[in-house]
Structure 1
Amino acid sequence: MRRLCVVLLMLCALPAWADGFDQLYKAAGWQQQRAHFNDALKAAQQRYSANLPPAVFQALVNNSNQRFAPQAVDQRAEQRLRESLKDPAPALQFFQSPLGRKIVEAELTATRADQLARHTQGLPVIGADATRQLLIGHLAQALPAKQAGAEVSLALAGVAADSLSQMIPGLLGGGQAQGMLEGQRERLMTQIEADLHNTLLYVYRDLSNPELEEFASFAESAEGRAYYQAALAAIRAGLAVGQSNSSLVQ
């Protein structure tokens, strides 16, 4: 679960949109984050290969590849983002600023495959003074990090549920598997929240206190809230949380 917190900042692995959305996509580093997610997914598949019967492993790979096919994820996420975010300009201006670029670089570094492998047992504990802890607390409240982490977990668990249903037909039918997963959202957010402050301290460790304050101010602003709420909605749609693989077949 702690590793998921590190990956939270890939939570907006969104498509290449036209116009201002396209510029926002590029400025915020979503293309690279999507590549990082794909790398992490492939690594997870390889770990399972040694522990699952071949038929079960193949079903898991097939289902995950279908659910997380880049083009399909892009189409679902793009549609939801355009429905949810009225104006990309404020977020674009922020992420094109020197601070925005520094934030994106910190997030991309945190989600690289080598960094995830390095911290499989959890992140180091980061010390911080009272001011920095307060600023991180503001970010933890403003960023939808725990919510996004829960959606990622539910999407990945949904692949496993679909694979189990395929191997044992009728065991979890009629959407029962996805319904069971939906009930785990609050529990997952609680687990992620326990490590969230330290995760944010680690990811943004190279930002100064004034930079953290400016970041928090954007995230807490009306424009920042609109952006992060839209990003969370797009992530949930892109990862098809709560949907079975069969429902995704066009």
Structure 2
Amino acid sequence: MRVLLACLLLLLGLPSLADEHSQLYQAAGWPEQRAHFISALEAAQQRYRSSLPPAVYQALVDNSNKRFAPQAVDQRAQAKLRAQLADPAPALAFFRSPLGRKVVAAEVKATSREELLKNANGLPRMQAEATRRLLIRHLAQALPAREAGAEVSLALAGVAADSLSQMLPGLLGGGQAALGMLESQRQRLMEQIGEDLDNTLLYVYRELSDPELEEFVEFAQSAAGQAYYQAALAAVRAGLAVGQSSEQLAPATPSI
């Protein structure tokens, strides 16, 4: 009987253990960030409605809706996170902590429609003491913020490229030439984002105290933090299907 009970308890515990990646996905704010991205995408679509020929505009909308369907984005991102992050427990513990929740809240707020509209003409120049600026510099070096920002821009550009390729096959070439162009764009975007990254992070994490910021830096620089953020960058790229054409995207699997 004891053996049977032990086996039952073990089986009951397995789903929660296997689901730590999903819990991390939720705790780190991925669904909210994805929703904010979709909101910004819809606003961009509306801006283009009056400036593009109807056929081009419809192709752009259809391609973006296919590429960035919420369920498909979540499935691709979570699958990559599972594949890249062997042990999600340390990151999950951090993002469930009071400081982790505060970090996520700051990041989610920064990408909200209200914040994007408020800062449409650029972020304010942040003032900070030398100690805080040094912490932010360390954070900028630990977080893949430049890389993630570049992937978002590349994903949006990929929708336009898909639409043009469908209407004018062969216009953008393919194979190694396309990959070379993608990498060149990625490097250029990272350089542009890096020029003002410290001020951006000062703004995003402005409500964190210096001790909180220092603790955040310690997590981001740790082996567990680096493992999470490198896996997160790969998940962003996979979720947004950077470098993939619409024809290469598999349809989302219905949730059970």
Q: Which residue of 2 aligns with 1:246?
A: 247
- Structure 1 letter corresponding to 2:241: A
Task: Rate the CA distance shift 1:69–1:178 in 2: closer, same or farther, 3 A.
Answer: farther
Q: Does the 8 Å CA contact 1:157/1:181 hold for their aligned counterparts?
A: no
Q: Which residue of 1 aligns with 2:114?
A: 114
Cα drift, residue 106 of structure 1 = 0.9
The answer to whether 1:219 aligns with 2:220 is yes
Residue 183 of structure 1 aligns to a residue whose secondary structure is helix
Q: Which residue of 2 aligns with 1:89?
A: 89
In the aligned structure 2, how far is the partner of 1:54 from the partner of 1:158? 19
Cα drift, residue 157 of structure 1 = 0.7
Q: Which residue of 1 aligns with 2:29?
A: 29
Q: Which residue of 1 aligns with 2:234?
A: 233
In the aligned structure 1, how far is the partner of 2:18 from the partner of 2:116? 32
Cα drift, residue 62 of structure 1 = 0.7
Cα drift, residue 232 of structure 1 = 0.4
Q: Does the 8 Å CA contact 1:154/1:182 hold for their aligned counterparts?
A: no
- Structure 2 letter corresponding to 1:202: Y
In the aligned structure 2, how far is the partner of 1:204 from the partner of 1:173? 42
- Structure 1 letter corresponding to 2:79: Q
Q: Which residue of 1 aligns with 2:42?
A: 42
Identity within the alignment, %: 71
Q: Does the 8 Å CA contact 1:162/1:177 hold for their aligned counterparts?
A: no
Q: Which residue of 2 aligns with 1:162?
A: 162
Q: Which residue of 2 aligns with 1:207?
A: 208
Report the TM-score when normalising by structure 2. Answer: 0.87
User: Structure 1, residues 115-159: CA drift from partner, whole Å, max 9, x if none?
Assistant: 101111110000111000000001000000000011111111111
Report the TM-score when normalising by structure 1. Answer: 0.89
Q: Which runs of 5+ in 2 are unaligned?
A: 1-16, 252-256
Superposition RMSD on alpha carbons, in Å?
1.6
* Structure showing greater Rg: 2
User: Structure 1, residues 8-58: CA drift from partner, whole Å, max 9, x if none?
Assistant: xxxxxxxxx961112212222222111111111101111111211111111
Structure 1 stretches of at least 4 aligned residues deviating more than 3 Å after TM superposition: 173-179
Q: Does the 8 Å CA contact 1:179/1:242 hold for their aligned counterparts?
A: no
Q: Which residue of 2 aligns with 1:12?
A: none
The answer to whether 1:186 aligns with 2:161 is no
Cα drift, residue 173 of structure 1 = 3.7
- Structure 2 letter corresponding to 1:190: E
Cα drift, residue 179 of structure 1 = 4.5
User: Structure 1, residues 55-91: CA drift from partner, whole Å, max 9, x if none?
Assistant: 1111111111111112222222222111100111101
Q: Does the 8 Å CA contact 2:21/2:78 hold for their aligned counterparts?
A: no
Q: Does the 8 Å CA contact 1:76/1:237 hold for their aligned counterparts?
A: yes
Cα drift, residue 177 of structure 1 = 4.7
Q: Which residue of 1 aligns with 2:55?
A: 55
Q: Which residue of 2 aligns with 1:11?
A: none
Count of aligned pairs between the two proteins: 234
In the aligned structure 2, how far is the partner of 1:209 from the partner of 1:191? 27
In the aligned structure 2, how far is the partner of 1:191 from the partner of 1:203? 18
